[in-house]
Each structure stands twice: as C-alpha cells, then as structure tokens.
Amino acid sequence: MAYVITDECLACGSCASECPADAIKEGSIYVITDACLECGTCVDVCPAGAIKEQ
C-alpha cells in the first residue's frame, strides 16, 4: 500500500467518498485497506493533508 492516513485525519469522509476502489474505511480516523489502487485521489481531496505516501 502506497498511502497511509495519519493522525491529522479529521474523519470528515472526503477521501472515502472519492475513493474509486472503496478502499477507505471509517474508524476513529479513516484507514486505507488492501483494496487501495494507489491512484492518489484521496491525497488530492483530503482537506487536512493527512494522507501521506509510505
């Protein structure tokens, strides 16, 4: 997996709603699952800049 959601996550859901693979799941912060296509869409839409490359 190329991306990880960090503690800066606001749990706003922007990334999950835009993910074409439905690879982002809700939790205390959101998490990226193994279904990730590594497309980077989540990085572009995150208002907090909480998604980083590993």
Domain that holds residue 26: 3-53
Residue 33: name the closest of 9, 7, 1 by CA: 1
Quote the number of domains for the chain.
1
CA distance 13 to 54: 21
Q: Report the SS3 class of residue 5.
A: strand
Confidence of residue 28 (pLDDT cuts 50, 70, 90): confident
Looking at residue 1, its pLDDT comes to 61
Tokens of 41: 């869409």
Looking at residue 21, its pLDDT comes to 97
Tokens of 25: 């799941």
The CATH number of whichever domain residue 46 belongs to comes to 3.30.70.20
